[in-house]
Structure 1
Amino acid sequence: MAGSFNTPTKNIIGKKMADDGMDYNIVFPDALISERHWHGTKEPVVILLGWAGCKDKHLAKYSSIYNEQGCVTICYTAPLKTVFVSESFGYKELSITAHKLLEILYDYDVENSPIFFHVFSNGGFMLYRYMVELLQSHKQFSTLCVVGSVVDSAPGNGNVKGALRALTATLGTKINVMLRYALLVLFAVTVFLLRVVLYPLTKYIHKNHYDAFRDVPPTWPQLYLYSRSDQVIPYTDVELMIQVLKGKGIPVESFDFNTSSHVSHFCDFPEEYSGRCLAFLNNCMKDSEGTQAKRRHLIQN
């Protein structure tokens, strides 16, 4: 979306990076709304990373949860070819995208604000993985203050059947039937060979998102929202990740919606979903303020 427009409650700016074709939407709330919710402190910047095939209108519904609380939001969904092709063949195109997304914080002078992630499905989690790695290792980005993250319907681990279901849903019914089946077969064979059969060797070249995150996870608080009825991402994969993170001493919360399907928890339980996300964000902000206060006290002493 190019250009900008105003509403009575918030200033919305959409920008397209024409040189590389990367589209994202950024929303700055009205200053009065931010002041009412954050009382003079810097409002959080929430980065929402959509699932494969996610449309702007879908991600905007989640963005509004945070905009109404006076947060800045940045929404981005990686292209299908990057998620399903580049990652499957071990090309780290998403790492380049991750770098560009973090640079947006500096473009809009919000690099000193608290950062909060909201990640959807494996499509968003793959990109999130590279952003975490940059935050951990890159000299410039290591100074950013991430207060927490929400992970919705992710991560899944080497699940070829789930990946096929996700790609089938993404391709839809408009594409030619023969072409759709040909793409699915090619994708299944490629993923099975590279990510299952040959993975003991290929992991030294390109470790999958699940293993990379499990080995070197971020230490900020995390909330996992999932469902045992999810037919794309097995709930056992999510629960295993939660156990691993807790075992490393990382503060983790989780909630099983039980009956909702993949990335449909907000659709089925809007009040429960938004309430849990906002309560978690507020707790993360309070914990961050306490940590910063202790740090200032130590420096002064």
Structure 2
Amino acid sequence: MNDQLLVQKLNEHNFSFTLPQHPIPPLGLNVHPLVVLVGWIKALPKHLDKYKKFYLDNGFCTITLTPSPMCHFFPHRMRELALSLVEFLNKESDKTSRPIIFQVFSGNMVYQSEIFKLLNDNKDKYEKLINLIKGQIFDSCPSMISERVAYTSLTATSKSKIQKTVLKYICAGYSKIVDVEKANNDFWNRLSKCPIPTPQLYIYSIDDAVTSYLDVERGIEIMKSQNINVRQLCFDQSLHVNHFSVHPMRYMKNVYQFWEFCLKTNNTTSPTLSTSNKFKFLNRLLVPKL
């Protein structure tokens, strides 16, 4: 399939696909790796642009998507969206076996948990795809599912008092439509059965007003209990899903290290940033304009 047809096919699934203009990262790979960026609740494409550029500048193909907030009210829609992405990635892996990194933000960790369940329920079918997923980055997540968290997430970027009032009633209605306690328990249960054994990086902050660091660290412990290699980047002061803007150098350094650890072929060393000449391509990049 040529590049134009690939883009057209992806966009039919409401995913945005972009090919890089830069060389393959110097990690011993034969093809451009792929990152799947799953935006936070109500994230617009422009909000993900700096992350997208960061990956494109380093030789990654990118897929970006943000599940509609309505998917949280109607879980079957979230499952359908997860299925459409997994099916697409699975079919494309038969044509080009790209190493895959997932980067997921905030409340749409729920979406990723549905992908976990889908892969778990169909391990034989998706075995090749699972093996291609080389790492996962979780920014400002996971967090518990509750009426309060839903309201805080939806109003985090809203300045309108009227809109906040409307959203307050919507979230109250959410608690009546959805069995929130069951939804929360099911969510953590899906995380406790992660079918992707490759490393994970958690980026979060102590003073996040939306996602409690205690929830993030609960998720970390759940993954460690499954013998998954977990790295943590925790800030004392940094706003929700704003860590890249506030701490760009530390953010990029840790992500670079994570890429090298996950993607570098025949890598058996600890995840420390390489100083070899062939890896300077990544270090030469300027900090993106935020």
For the criterion TM > 0.5, the same-fold answer is yes
Name whichever of 127-136 and 168-177 sits farther off: 168-177
**Cα contact 2:116–2:194 (8 A) shared by 1:** no
SS at match of 1:29: coil
Gaps of 5+ in 2: 269-290
CA contact (8 A) 1:15 1:25 kept: no
| Contact 1:45-1:110 within 8 A present in 2 as well | no
* 1:94 partnered with 2:78: yes
Equivalent runs, 1:154-233 vs 2, <5 Å: 154-169=141-156, 173=160, 179-190=166-177, 194-196=179-181, 199=182, 208-216=186-194, 218-233=196-211
Q: How does 1:12-91 map to 2 (within 5 A)?
A: 13=7, 17-18=11-12, 22-30=13-21, 33-35=22-24, 37-38=26-27, 41-83=30-72, 85-87=73-75
Where in structure 1 do 4 or more consecutive aligned residues deviate above 4 Å? 12-18, 107-111, 174-178, 188-191
Post-superposition offset of 1:42 = 2.1
Shift of 1:168: 2.3
Compared CA separation, residues 41 and 61, structure 1 to 2 (3 A) = same
Give the Cα–Cα distance (whole angstroms) in 1 for the partners of residues 112 and 37 of structure 2.
Answer: 10
Residue 165 of structure 1 and its aligned partner are, at CA, apart by: 0.7
Sequence identity, in percent?
Answer: 28
Contact 1:43 1:71 in 2 (8 A): yes
Alpha-carbon distance in 1 for matches of 2:193, 2:78: 19
**What TM-score, normalized by structure 2, do the two folds share?**
0.79
For the structure 1 residues 195 and 94, does the alpha-carbon distance in structure 2 shift closer, same or farther, using more than 3 Å as the test? same
Instruction: Report the number of matched residues.
Output: 261
Residues 133 and 196, structure 2, Cα contact 8 Å, conserved in 1 = no
1:188 is displaced (CA, Å) by: 4.4
By how many angstroms is 1:122 displaced?
A: 1.7
| 1:115 corresponds to which of 88, 100, 110 | 100
In structure 1, distance between residues paired with 2:198 and 2:29:
23
Change (3 A) 1:283 1:86: same
Q: Distance in 1 between matches of 2:196 and 2:25?
A: 30
Cα pair 1:155 1:233 within 8 Å, conserved: yes
Residue in structure 2 matched with residue 283 of structure 1 by the alignment:
261
Q: Take 1:171 and 1:14, find their aligned partners in 2: how far apart are those partners?
A: 33
Q: Secondary structure at the match of 1:230?
A: coil
Give 1:61 deviation, angstroms: 1.0
Residues 26-58 of structure 1: CA distance to partner in whole angstroms, max 9, x if unpaired? 11112xx22463455222110010111001011
Distance of 2:249 and 2:9 partners within structure 1: 30
CA–CA separation in structure 1 for the residues paired with 2:153 and 2:250: 25
**CA deviation map 1:75-116 (0-9, x unaligned):** 000011112x113xxxx3212111211233335876511111
How far residue 215 of structure 1 moved from its aligned partner, in angstroms, is 3.8
Residues 142 and 216 in structure 2, CA contact (< 8 A), matched pair in contact too: yes
Deviation at 1:119, TM superposition (A): 0.5
In the superposition, relative to structure 1, how do residues 195 and 114 fare at CA in structure 2: closer, same or farther (>3 Å)?
Answer: same
Note closer, same or farther for the CA distance 1:82–1:39 as it changes in structure 2 (3 Å cut).
same
Cα deviation for residue 24 of structure 1 reads 1.7
Backbone CA RMSD of aligned residues? 2.8
How many Å apart are 1:132 and its aligned residue?
Answer: 2.4
The 1:172/1:245 distance shift into structure 2, 3 A limit, reads same
1-structure distance, mates of 2:151, 2:261: 37
What is the CA–CA distance in structure 1 between the aligned matches of 2:165 and 2:201, rounded to whole Å? Answer: 41
- Cα deviation, residue 176, structure 1: 5.2
8 A contact 1:17–1:23 mirrored in 2 = yes
- Structure 2 contact 27–263 (Cα < 8 Å) conserved: no
Structure 2 residue 227 is the aligned partner of structure 1 residue 249: yes
Quote the residue 1:296 is aligned against: none
Structure 2 Cα separation of the partners of residues 109 and 259 of structure 1: 44
Greater mean alpha carbon deviation, residues 142-151 or residues 236-245:
236-245
CA drift of 1:23 comes to 1.9
CA distance in 2, matches of 1:36, 1:266: 21
Which residue is 2:281 aligned to?
Answer: none
Q: What is the SS of the residue equivalent to 2:104? A: strand
